Protein backbone atom coordinates (compact mmCIF):
# COMPACT_ATOMS: atom_id res chain seq x y z
CA UNK A 1 0.00 0.00 0.00
CA UNK A 2 1.25 3.47 -0.88
CA UNK A 3 1.66 6.14 1.75
CA UNK A 4 -0.89 8.91 1.28
CA UNK A 5 0.62 11.83 -0.55
CA UNK A 6 -2.52 13.82 -1.23
CA UNK A 7 -6.03 14.20 0.16
CA UNK A 8 -8.71 15.55 -2.13
CA UNK A 9 -11.92 16.80 -0.53
CA UNK A 10 -14.89 17.15 -2.82
CA UNK A 11 -18.63 17.69 -2.71
CA UNK A 12 -20.48 15.31 -4.99
CA UNK A 13 -24.01 15.64 -6.26
CA UNK A 14 -25.42 12.12 -6.35
CA UNK A 15 -28.43 11.70 -8.62
CA UNK A 16 -31.20 9.37 -7.44
CA UNK A 17 -33.49 8.11 -10.19
CA UNK A 18 -36.59 5.96 -10.07
CA UNK A 19 -37.06 3.28 -12.69
CA UNK A 20 -40.13 1.69 -14.20
CA UNK A 21 -39.06 -1.70 -12.86
CA UNK A 22 -39.33 -0.59 -9.20
CA UNK A 23 -35.55 -0.22 -8.92
CA UNK A 24 -33.71 2.94 -7.98
CA UNK A 25 -30.28 4.01 -9.10
CA UNK A 26 -27.72 6.47 -7.77
CA UNK A 27 -24.81 7.89 -9.75
CA UNK A 28 -22.68 11.02 -10.08
CA UNK A 29 -21.28 13.02 -12.98
CA UNK A 30 -18.36 14.72 -11.22
CA UNK A 31 -14.91 14.47 -12.77
CA UNK A 32 -13.16 11.95 -10.51
CA UNK A 33 -10.59 9.28 -11.37
CA UNK A 34 -13.33 6.66 -11.04
CA UNK A 35 -17.09 6.42 -11.32
CA UNK A 36 -19.60 4.37 -9.45
CA UNK A 37 -23.21 3.36 -9.46
CA UNK A 38 -25.60 2.00 -6.85
CA UNK A 39 -29.01 0.41 -7.14
CA UNK A 40 -31.70 -1.07 -4.95
CA UNK A 41 -35.39 -1.87 -4.56
CA UNK A 42 -35.76 1.21 -2.35
CA UNK A 43 -34.08 4.59 -2.39
CA UNK A 44 -32.33 3.77 0.87
CA UNK A 45 -30.99 0.46 -0.53
CA UNK A 46 -29.72 2.29 -3.63
CA UNK A 47 -27.96 4.91 -1.47
CA UNK A 48 -26.34 2.24 0.70
CA UNK A 49 -25.19 0.32 -2.39
CA UNK A 50 -23.85 3.54 -3.95
CA UNK A 51 -21.93 4.54 -0.80
CA UNK A 52 -20.45 1.04 -0.44
CA UNK A 53 -19.40 1.00 -4.09
CA UNK A 54 -17.91 4.49 -3.81
CA UNK A 55 -15.93 3.48 -0.73
CA UNK A 56 -14.57 0.35 -2.47
CA UNK A 57 -13.47 2.38 -5.51
CA UNK A 58 -12.04 5.11 -3.24
CA UNK A 59 -9.95 2.55 -1.33
CA UNK A 60 -8.76 0.90 -4.55
CA UNK A 61 -7.78 4.31 -5.93
CA UNK A 62 -5.88 5.11 -2.72
CA UNK A 63 -3.98 1.81 -2.83
CA UNK A 64 -3.00 2.38 -6.46
CA UNK A 65 -2.14 6.10 -6.32
CA UNK A 66 -1.78 7.20 -2.69
CA UNK A 67 -4.50 9.82 -3.26
CA UNK A 68 -7.21 9.82 -0.61
CA UNK A 69 -10.52 11.19 -1.87
CA UNK A 70 -12.86 12.44 0.85
CA UNK A 71 -16.36 13.08 -0.40
CA UNK A 72 -19.43 14.81 0.95
CA UNK A 73 -22.59 13.75 -0.88
CA UNK A 74 -25.69 15.73 -1.67
CA UNK A 75 -28.44 13.44 -2.94
CA UNK A 76 -30.83 14.96 -5.46
CA UNK A 77 -33.90 13.16 -6.73
CA UNK A 78 -35.54 13.01 -10.13
CA UNK A 79 -39.30 13.54 -10.03
CA UNK A 80 -40.15 9.82 -9.83
CA UNK A 81 -37.76 9.17 -6.96
CA UNK A 82 -38.85 12.36 -5.15
CA UNK A 83 -42.54 11.46 -5.39
CA UNK A 84 -41.84 7.88 -4.27
CA UNK A 85 -39.66 9.02 -1.38
CA UNK A 86 -42.29 11.40 0.01
CA UNK A 87 -45.43 9.45 -0.90
CA UNK A 88 -46.17 8.66 2.75
CA UNK A 89 -45.99 12.37 3.65
CA UNK A 90 -47.34 14.18 0.60
CA UNK A 91 -50.54 12.81 -0.91
CA UNK A 92 -51.07 12.73 -4.65
CA UNK A 93 -54.15 14.88 -4.18
CA UNK A 94 -52.11 17.46 -2.24
CA UNK A 95 -49.27 17.35 -4.76
CA UNK A 96 -51.77 17.79 -7.55
CA UNK A 97 -53.06 20.96 -5.88
CA UNK A 98 -49.52 22.26 -5.37
CA UNK A 99 -48.23 21.44 -8.86
CA UNK A 100 -51.34 21.67 -11.03
CA UNK A 101 -50.53 18.21 -12.41
CA UNK A 102 -53.30 15.62 -12.55
CA UNK A 103 -52.99 13.07 -9.73
CA UNK A 104 -53.33 10.14 -12.18
CA UNK A 105 -50.28 11.46 -14.02
CA UNK A 106 -48.42 11.93 -10.71
CA UNK A 107 -49.32 8.36 -9.77
CA UNK A 108 -47.74 7.10 -12.99
CA UNK A 109 -44.54 8.96 -12.07
CA UNK A 110 -44.56 7.48 -8.55
CA UNK A 111 -45.01 3.95 -9.90
CA UNK A 112 -42.39 4.46 -12.58
CA UNK A 113 -44.82 3.70 -15.41
CA UNK A 114 -44.04 7.06 -16.96
CA UNK A 115 -41.28 9.60 -16.54
CA UNK A 116 -41.98 13.32 -16.54
CA UNK A 117 -40.46 15.51 -19.21
CA UNK A 118 -37.74 17.96 -18.21
CA UNK A 119 -40.35 20.74 -18.32
CA UNK A 120 -42.68 18.80 -16.00
CA UNK A 121 -39.81 17.98 -13.62
CA UNK A 122 -38.99 21.69 -13.42
CA UNK A 123 -42.67 22.47 -12.77
CA UNK A 124 -42.79 19.95 -9.92
CA UNK A 125 -39.55 21.29 -8.47
CA UNK A 126 -40.61 24.93 -8.68
CA UNK A 127 -44.04 24.17 -7.19
CA UNK A 128 -42.61 22.19 -4.25
CA UNK A 129 -39.98 24.87 -3.56
CA UNK A 130 -42.66 27.57 -3.65
CA UNK A 131 -44.82 25.55 -1.26
CA UNK A 132 -41.85 25.01 1.09
CA UNK A 133 -41.19 28.77 1.10
CA UNK A 134 -44.85 29.40 1.87
CA UNK A 135 -44.71 26.95 4.80
CA UNK A 136 -41.49 28.49 6.08
CA UNK A 137 -43.13 31.89 6.35
CA UNK A 138 -46.57 30.66 7.45
CA UNK A 139 -45.49 29.63 10.95
CA UNK A 140 -44.78 32.34 13.48
| End-of-domain residue from the set 42, 77, 112 | 77
Say whether both 12 and 39 belong to one domain: yes
Say whether both 29 and 85 belong to one domain: no
Q: How is 64-123 classified by DSSP, letter by letter? A: HH-EEEEEEEEEEE-HHHHHHHTTTTS-HHHHHHHH---HHHHHHHHHTSS---HHHHHH
Say whether both 94 and 63 belong to one domain: no
Say whether both 20 and 72 belong to one domain: yes
Task: Spell out the per-residue pLDDT of the chain, length 140, in tens.
Answer: 445 478 889 999 999 998 766 789 999 999 999 999 999 999 999 999 999 999 999 999 999 999 999 999 999 998 888 888 888 898 999 999 999 999 999 988 887 788 889 999 999 999 999 999 999 888 76
Its domain, for residue 70, covers: 6-77
Q: Is residue 1 part of a domain?
A: no
What pLDDT score was predicted for residue 3? 54
What pLDDT score was predicted for residue 140? 64
What pLDDT score was predicted for residue 4? 47
Answer positive or negative: Cα dihedral of 71, 72, 75, 76.
Answer: negative
| End-of-domain residue from the set 57, 77, 97 | 77
The total domain count for the chain is: 2
User: Residue 117 maps to which CATH number?
Assistant: 1.10.260.40
- Tell how strand 37-40 and strand 67-77 pair up: unpaired
Answer positive or negative: Cα dihedral of 15, 18, 20, 22.
Answer: positive
Amino acid sequence: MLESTKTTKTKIIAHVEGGNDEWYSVYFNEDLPFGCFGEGRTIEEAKIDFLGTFDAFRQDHFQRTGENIEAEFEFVYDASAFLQHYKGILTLSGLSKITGINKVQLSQYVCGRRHPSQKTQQKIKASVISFAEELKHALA
